[in-house]
Amino acid sequence: MPKDLIPKAYVNTSRGQLHYRRSGTGNRSLLLIHWLPLSSRMYATVMPELAELGYDVIALDLLGYGRSDPRPEQWSMEMWADNVHEAMEQLCTRPVTAVGGHSGACVVTEIALRHPDAVENVILDGCPLPTPELTKTFAAMRQNSRPGPTADLGHEALVFRTVRTTYEHYVPGFTVTPQTIEAIWPAMIDYLETDFVSSAPISVSYDLAARLPQIRQPLALLSATTDTLFGNHARACTLAATAQQHVFEGHHPLHDPARCREYAQVIARFSDRRRVL
């Protein structure tokens, strides 16, 4: 996997510092919000492709993830949206195309609804519309016990197993190979930065199905045929009847550096539309 050489910096907000990556000097702005429990690192290989297409690309670490400060215990999607918007006011001089994946799609939806003047296009990359059973399971997940030494030495592989399971969730059929293990090492760093705090209860308490029809900006819905949330794609398109949509064949391009240009071109195609008031 290529080294992450994207320039990095921090922006101060009333809730703490947000870490971000930034690439490109174009006259169109893209805001990228990551999937959980990953960080803006997941966009490092696609950001140069987007920059070459003429964008100023900003990828933020949400509060509580990556290199950003920890989030307060009492938190919500709305708070993430307001916190990101506070950072945008300092980093962006024009409305952005906001891209969010999985739980990040919920954050982007709230930014678009709560701060419509800051967002000209919305791209949701995988829509979390959980079943009642999954909602109940996720609602019970809060803070995992901080691991300590165990007789079976399970603590020694805990983080590796957790990250491997995350990739197995996002990439069906994922196995650890000399190639794929290069994605696991940096993701282990991102997972440790969460301090073992889960945002699953926040994700399932947010009603994306109710909010999708309220988006007034041009909207695009993305998915991939093997993505965990692909089963929600048709329902999301029904809820947002005027949205454009694109489905990637196979695994999601963000999990395959060789397909970054393909992903960037789809983002560019949707983001070039003018805002509809």
Q: Give pLDDT tens digits for 50-63.
A: 999 999 999 999 99
User: Is the pLDDT at 20 greater than 80, yes or no?
Assistant: yes
Cβ proximity of 159 and 192 under 8 Å: yes
Q: Is the link from the previous residue into 37 a cis peptide, with omega within 30 of 0?
A: yes
H-state helical runs in the chain? 47-52, 77-91, 103-114, 132-139, 158-170, 181-193, 200-205, 208-211, 233-239, 260-271
Per-domain residue ranges for the chain? 8-271
At 142 the pLDDT is 52
Neighbouring C-beta atoms of residue 31, cutoff 10 Å: 27
List 98's β-bridge partners, or say none: 31, 122
Considering the four listed CATH numbers 3.40.50.1820, 3.90.1150.10, 3.40.190.10, 3.40.50.2300, the one that applies to the domain covering 8-271 is 3.40.50.1820
Give the number of other Cβ atoms within 10 Å of residue 221's Cβ.
25
Whole-model pTM: value is 0.93
The helix/strand count (H/E) of the chain reads as: 10, 8
Higher pLDDT, 17 or 153: 17
Q: What is the mean pLDDT of residues 177-188?
A: 92
